[in-house]
Structure 1
Amino acid sequence: MLSQSLVQDVLNEALTTGGDFAEVFVEDRLTNNLSLQGGLVENSLSGRDFGVGIRLFKGFQSTYTYTTDFTKEGMLKAAKRVAQTVHGDQLLKITDFGQQQVKVLHPIQQMPQSVDKVRKVNVLKKVHESASQYSDLITQVSIRLKDEEQNVLIANSEGAFIEDQRVRNILTVQSIASEKSRMESGYINTGALAGLEHLESIDVNFYGSEASRIAATMLDADPCPSGTFPVVIDNKFGGVIFHEACGHSLEASAVAKNKSVFSNKLGEKVASDLVTYIDDGTLQNEWGSINIDDEGEAARRNVLIENGILKGYLVDKLNARIMNTDITGSSRRESYRFAPTSRMTNTFIAPGESTREDIISNTEYGIFAKYMGGGQVNPATGDYNFGAEEAYIIKNGKIDRPVRGATLIGNGAETLKKVDMVGNNLGHGAGMCGASSGAVPVNVGQPTLRVSELTVGGTKGDA
């Protein structure tokens, strides 16, 4: 992408005023967006973005800038900007880079740019057909496909010079069901760190009909009762609660500032014995996976909580300095416009020994949250509330009637301790996670599990 000699000049320019670490991040991103509305192509947009980010450390101080001017003069000018923010006597100079090769963990078979748009549209039309024909109640179907190829170069004053290619695509389906004055929606997606082979390998009938099934089911749902109940949360995207309420609190960006409920608790019991919580960027071709992080460190599997005991955090280079600990290959950013920091990849609760059927049959009365929607969390306290996109009453150990308006309210640290059954059906769900370094692709995951007691906000009515 850029020559070693040019990158070396930029790094040395950044170090001229006494910084003790400099980094260059070069990005070239190609993006395609395709959407269907009512079975017809609504939008087909493509774009390309190129930029260079430059970061400088002096002790615990970090300065970041970026430029879209990739001439030598433009990049040296940007390097001077960060250099002006620090002052020191010891001047570093980089004279050589080590030879580094990315270990490709996630093979790509069909590059997005090589696939004709007609092939993509044909797949999306099949999804639309299965969604629209599910029920006469379905009045609208929206389908979106985004694919991208991101090529990056990461170099720093410690001698790193490494290039990586990230190829992703994600398909989202939303169906609207209507009857008289009522309207409900159903949403589902599937994403992968893979080429367009992912799109052509999925069960299009499932994704289309499932979005419509959710919408049609919730159209006939009763109001959800409010109160405190056992709550069974289904697998895959059900893990979003633990991602938001617990995962962010295990990132060094919060821990290093003592703004996390898990700060200074390594080795302590923080969850039920049944809970093992893992972040693993090496899972092959998963949506949140990486070959290397955005500081050039290899992807790895990080066990954060093991059998209820806090074992570690997700740590980036700057916060490793502050915390005096090792980095974990967990530094990520949305693009060259953002400085990287500690972020999740594929974060999930490990499978247990119960079946979904066991968990439900052992629940006399409670709520079954099959699909989770959006929510809010306070990362400093772990307090959260999440809406359930699709939920049911459990009565006498069986799934009973569907209910709408269910909101799960709790505290992440407390919820971890109240997990009393964990299923054996681990699944992952794709999402985008927003934080200080922008929005990055992540997987959230878990098996079906039960929280013994959780506050459910709903609509007043008889249970």
Structure 2
Amino acid sequence: MLAKSVIEDVLTAALATGGDFSEVFLEDRYTNNLTLQGGKIENSLSGRDFGIGIRVFKGLQSVYTYTTDGSKEGLLKAARNAAHAISGETIIHPEPLKKEIITCAHPIAINPRETEKTRKVNVMKKAYEIAKNYHSSIQQVLVRYLDEEQNVLIANSEGKFIEDKRVRSRLAIQSIASDGKQMQPGFYGPGAHKGFEFFENLNLEHYANEASRIAVTMLGADPCPSGKFPVIIDNEFGGVIFHEACGHGLEATSVAKNNSVFANRIGEKVASDVVTYIDDGTIANEWGSITIDDEGEKARKNVLIENGILKGYLIDKFNSRRMGMESTGSGRRQSYRFAPTSRMTNTYIAEGKSTPEEIISNTEHGIYTKYMGGGSVNPATGDYNFAVMEAYLVKDGKIGKPLKGATLVGNGAETLQLVDMVGNNLGHGAGMCGSLSGSIPVNVGQPMIRVSEMTVGGSKEGE
């Protein structure tokens, strides 16, 4: 890493033209990506990425620059370039740096960088064999392996000096089933803030079989009907709807500029009484968890909506200035190439009191969505459109035939008001979230929930 004396000089140079805050973010990242297809390794990429980002504030002005030149001269040049875009009457001198010692909240047992590649390949091959042998209709299986180690140093003119190591691992399994007339995909991608022990303890039988089961099931599915129905959304990755349609609207990136339907509504009722919505970066070893954010603030549990009442937002350091509110430890970025902004970690709907069996048996006619696919949302309005990977008809309180081609269309703020049952089977699903500060690992989660009415789009065959 960098010597304190060098960092202090860089922070001072960044304030030379009148800025009131400066920050250094150093990153040293190691990654391993492997792809297995047809039982063979198709791609194997390993790399190291090193760089330093420098940020300067003056009131509500913010300037960000980065460099891969880690020499003192290179860093001072980058700092001066940032400083030239900021002008003020008073020159502020940085506070003395005080190193903060943190204990990693997400212990790592086996460093993937020190693990033989053959062990990684063996995990992939085992997952491939399980998924491929699930059923004769499985034509293709793709397995992707990822591990990364990100070492960061964060220092700023307020005296912060802190280091952190983040290690994450993920396995993604995609199966394709075919009956000669059509092809259907199935996917599962578990991940964690863990080392290679994650793969050693992973239930490959469950995840690989589930990816193939989804694909095979959808081969025999009927076209989904269109209309407005009660919709049951299962746990884990079902939470992606509220991540997109609600979570992004609670980030200061949108709220601070009044580009959110939730702006200026603290204390108002914005959801059903049974909805409590939380972002918690402290959950041990979860994929989206952090020890500190990318501004050096400690991770915390932020209750955003409690029993339907809006309690708070996700706020980064710069937007805290706009809003006059404290940072919530939510400043995140993909890498040193991005300035941080407010982002989610592990965001989920808290458990309710209903059992999944009660939710299903209390639904006379509707749609049950077991696994969600991709989608899109307009954060300013909350309007969303999501594909469903696996769905079923619910009739007379029982799950019936599988349905394909289902989409869910609606508005996040309105959907929050229509959640009328929340289950007691909270689960989390791993994913990647893209926004202004790049793509970052996040968890989405929820128990099984029921929305009293949603617009369901189906294929023309099912209309």
TM-score range, shorter chain: over 0.9
- Give the corresponding residue for 2:316: 316
**Alignment of structure 1 residues 59-70 onto 2, 5 Å:** 59-70=59-70
- Give the corresponding residue for 2:305: 305
- Mapped partners of 1:423, 1:388: distance in 2: 20
Matched, 1:283 2:283: yes
Q: What's the RMSD between the two structures over aligned residues?
A: 0.8
Q: Calculate the TM-score normalised by the size of structure 2.
A: 0.99
- Mapped partners of 2:9, 2:354: distance in 1: 58
- Mapped partners of 1:29, 1:297: distance in 2: 20
- Give the corresponding residue for 1:390: 390
**1:126–1:205 contact (8 Å) kept in structure 2:** no
Per-residue CA deviations over 1:411-460 (Å, capped at 9, x if unaligned) read 00000000000000000000000000000000000000000000000024
Matched, 1:79 2:69: no
- Give the corresponding residue for 2:193: 193
1:92 shift after superposition: 1.2
**2:316–2:341 contact (8 Å) kept in structure 1:** yes
Structure 1 pair 398/82, CA: closer, same or farther in 2 (3 Å)?
same
**2:222–2:462 contact (8 Å) kept in structure 1:** no
**Alignment of structure 1 residues 224-239 onto 2, 5 Å:** 224-239=224-239
1:250 shift after superposition: 0.2
Matched, 1:248 2:259: no
- Mapped partners of 1:373, 1:127: distance in 2: 21
- Give the corresponding residue for 1:257: 257
- Mapped partners of 2:428, 2:86: distance in 1: 44
Per-residue CA deviations over 1:240-259 (Å, capped at 9, x if unaligned) read 00000000000001000000
Per-residue CA deviations over 1:141-189 (Å, capped at 9, x if unaligned) read 0000110000000000000000000000111000000111210000101
- Give the corresponding residue for 2:427: 427
Give the 3-state SS of the residue equivalent to 2:189 in structure 1. Answer: strand
Structure 1 pair 118/450, CA: closer, same or farther in 2 (3 Å)?
same
Identity of aligned residues (%): 66
1:94 shift after superposition: 2.1
1:103 shift after superposition: 2.7
Matched, 1:352 2:352: yes
Per-residue CA deviations over 1:261-303 (Å, capped at 9, x if unaligned) read 0000000000000000000000000000000000000000000
Give the 3-state SS of the residue equivalent to 1:99 in structure 2. Answer: strand
- Give the corresponding residue for 1:268: 268
- Mapped partners of 2:89, 2:379: distance in 1: 39
The AA in structure 1 aligned to 2:391 is A
Structure 1 pair 240/95, CA: closer, same or farther in 2 (3 Å)?
closer
Give the 3-state SS of the residue equivalent to 2:208 in structure 1. Answer: helix
**Alignment of structure 1 residues 41-440 onto 2, 5 Å:** 41-94=41-94, 96-440=96-440
**2:275–2:416 contact (8 Å) kept in structure 1:** yes
The AA in structure 1 aligned to 2:183 is M
- Mapped partners of 1:379, 1:95: distance in 2: 38
**1:375–1:387 contact (8 Å) kept in structure 2:** yes
- Give the corresponding residue for 1:441: 441
- Mapped partners of 1:214, 1:87: distance in 2: 58
**2:238–2:370 contact (8 Å) kept in structure 1:** yes
- Mapped partners of 1:345, 1:209: distance in 2: 28
1:462 shift after superposition: 5.8
Q: Calculate the TM-score normalised by the size of structure 1.
A: 0.99
- Mapped partners of 2:180, 2:122: distance in 1: 33
Structure 1 pair 329/462, CA: closer, same or farther in 2 (3 Å)?
closer
**1:26–1:53 contact (8 Å) kept in structure 2:** yes
**2:271–2:416 contact (8 Å) kept in structure 1:** yes
- Mapped partners of 2:61, 2:103: distance in 1: 32
1:133 shift after superposition: 0.6
Per-residue CA deviations over 1:178-228 (Å, capped at 9, x if unaligned) read 111210000101000010101110111111111100000001111000000
Per-residue CA deviations over 1:49-82 (Å, capped at 9, x if unaligned) read 0000000000000000000111111111100111
1:461 shift after superposition: 4.7
- Mapped partners of 2:333, 2:88: distance in 1: 28
**2:18–2:88 contact (8 Å) kept in structure 1:** yes
- Mapped partners of 1:461, 1:136: distance in 2: 27
Per-residue CA deviations over 1:98-154 (Å, capped at 9, x if unaligned) read 131123110000111111011111111111111011000000000001100000000
Structure 1 pair 422/72, CA: closer, same or farther in 2 (3 Å)?
same
With 287-296 and 201-210 compared, the bigger mean Cα shift is at 201-210
Structure 1 pair 411/456, CA: closer, same or farther in 2 (3 Å)?
same
The AA in structure 1 aligned to 2:146 is K
1:45 shift after superposition: 1.1
Give the 3-state SS of the residue equivalent to 1:108 in structure 2. Answer: coil
Question: Unaligned stretches of 5+ in structure 1?
Answer: none
Give the 3-state SS of the residue equivalent to 1:375 in structure 2. Answer: strand
Question: Unaligned stretches of 5+ in structure 2?
Answer: none
With 221-230 and 88-97 compared, the bigger mean Cα shift is at 88-97
1:234 shift after superposition: 0.3
- Mapped partners of 2:363, 2:222: distance in 1: 20
**1:32–1:148 contact (8 Å) kept in structure 2:** yes
**1:376–1:386 contact (8 Å) kept in structure 2:** yes
Give the 3-state SS of the residue equivalent to 2:279 in structure 1. Answer: strand
With 101-110 and 245-254 compared, the bigger mean Cα shift is at 101-110
Tell me how many residue pairs correspond in the alignment: 463
- Mapped partners of 1:105, 1:33: distance in 2: 25
1:95 shift after superposition: 5.2
